[in-house]
Structure 1
Amino acid sequence: MREFEYILISENSFENNDLINSNISVINYLRASEVNDDELHPDGFTSYCVDYFHTILKDQGLAKFIHESKWELELIEIIEAGLEAIGNTEYLEYFQKQMRKIKLFSKVKLAKFLDSKFESQKDIALLLEDNSFKDFTSDLKEDHQNWLRNHPDLKVVSIDEMQKIIVDFIQ
């Protein structure tokens, strides 16, 4: 099985400390080109998933993330491993707390919540919501950027070289 061997970042993104978005662009392009998730660089994909979690959490809340992700076990495990690798203990502990909470949540209520329109499940959403992350002193985005910046498989290249690497992989 082939696997994309790099976390590929553009030189401009590296210089502007925008590594997360550069990685997301590469992952999105590869996925749109019918590259399977298991063919992506594992930590590049992990970064993508952690950003997905963090973006929805801070913009729309935990209940919305649970609903949007359908609390899909493989995704949840990837995010947990990513938070651990990134080294942000506040977010890791928060996420693990949510994992325990969901395990204790009624399976019928959770299934109803996941299978219905989010707006129609306000009562369940209120039970699932946890905004304690807003009081964290750590910065997940900064820790995430630093993790990518120091990753052994990071490859910083020009846009032209980036395109060549991606096209060579896809073909």
Structure 2
Amino acid sequence: MREFQYILVSENAYQTNDLINSNISVINYLRASEVNDDELHPDAFSSYCVDYFFTTLKQDGLASYIYKTKWEIELIEITHAGLSAIGNQEYTEFFEKQIRKVKLFSKIKLDKFLNAKEGSLKDIASQLEDQQHKSFTSDLKADHENWLRNHPDLKAVTIEEMQSIITDFCNTENPLEQ
């Protein structure tokens, strides 16, 4: 199976500490080009998932993250692996706590929440919500940027080089499709 071999970012993003957003742009472009998630660089994709978790948590809360992801186990495992790799202990432990909490939640109640219209089951959402992250002293975004910056597979290139690398990858036959 083919796999994108880089965490690809623009040189500008590298210089301006915007690695997370540059990685997200590359992942979004690859996905829009019909590259499957399992063909993406695993750490690039876990970075993407961690950012989605962090952004949703900060903007909409934990219950919204659980709802929006439908608590899909593979996505949760990828996000957990990314948090662990980044090494931010507070957010990793917080996420692990949520995994345990959701596992203890009644399957019927969780399914009811995940299949309802968003925001309609406030009583269940309030049971899933956890505001502990608001008191954290660590900076997940800074830790995430540093992890990407120091990743051995990070490749910072010009936009033209980026387009060429992505085009070459997208035009490569997937051996499983032959």
Indicate the TM-score class for this superposition, using the shorter chain for normalisation.
Answer: over 0.9
Q: Give the equivalent residue in structure 1 for 2:3.
A: 3
Q: Give the equivalent residue in structure 1 for 2:77.
A: 77
Q: Give the equivalent residue in structure 2 for 1:122.
A: 122
Q: Give the equivalent residue in structure 1 for 2:92.
A: 92
C-alpha distance in structure 1 between counterparts of 2:38 and 2:75, whole Å: 12
C-alpha distance in structure 2 between counterparts of 1:155 and 1:120, whole Å: 44
Cα RMSD, aligned residues only: 0.4
Q: Give the equivalent residue in structure 2 for 1:170.
A: 170
Q: Give the equivalent residue in structure 1 for 2:64.
A: 64
Q: Secondary structure at the match of 2:120?
A: helix
> What is the CA-CA distance between 1:125 and the residue it aligns to?
0.4
TM-score between the two structures when normalised by the length of structure 1: 0.99
> What is the CA-CA distance between 1:118 and the residue it aligns to?
1.6
Q: Give the equivalent residue in structure 2 for 1:157.
A: 157
Q: Secondary structure at the match of 1:71?
A: coil
C-alpha distance in structure 2 between counterparts of 1:120 and 1:155, whole Å: 44
Percentage identity across paired residues of the two chains: 71
In the alignment, does 2:49 pair up with 1:55? no
> What is the CA-CA distance between 1:123 and the residue it aligns to?
0.5
> What is the CA-CA distance between 1:86 and the residue it aligns to?
0.1
Q: Secondary structure at the match of 1:156?
A: strand
TM-score between the two structures when normalised by the length of structure 2: 0.95
Deviations 1:4-55 (A, max 9, x none): 0000010000111000000000000000000000000000000000001000
Q: Secondary structure at the match of 2:9?
A: strand
Q: Secondary structure at the match of 1:119?
A: coil
> What is the CA-CA distance between 1:119 and the residue it aligns to?
1.6
> What is the CA-CA distance between 1:120 and the residue it aligns to?
0.9
Mind listing any 5+ residue stretches in structure 1 that lack a counterpart? Answer: none
C-alpha distance in structure 1 between counterparts of 2:100 and 2:118, whole Å: 22
> What is the CA-CA distance between 1:166 and the residue it aligns to?
0.4
> What is the CA-CA distance between 1:150 and the residue it aligns to?
0.1
C-alpha distance in structure 2 between counterparts of 1:2 and 1:93, whole Å: 33
Deviations 1:92-133 (A, max 9, x none): 000000000001101100000000012211110001000110
Q: Give the equivalent residue in structure 1 for 2:140.
A: 140
C-alpha distance in structure 1 between counterparts of 2:45 and 2:136, whole Å: 25
Runs (4+) off by over 4 Å: none
C-alpha distance in structure 1 between counterparts of 2:163 and 2:42, whole Å: 20
Which residue identity is paired with 1:52? Y
C-alpha distance in structure 1 between counterparts of 2:3 and 2:62, whole Å: 32
How many residues are treated as equivalent by the alignment? 171
Matches within 5 A, 1:9-24: 9-24=9-24
C-alpha distance in structure 2 between counterparts of 1:20 and 1:140, whole Å: 11
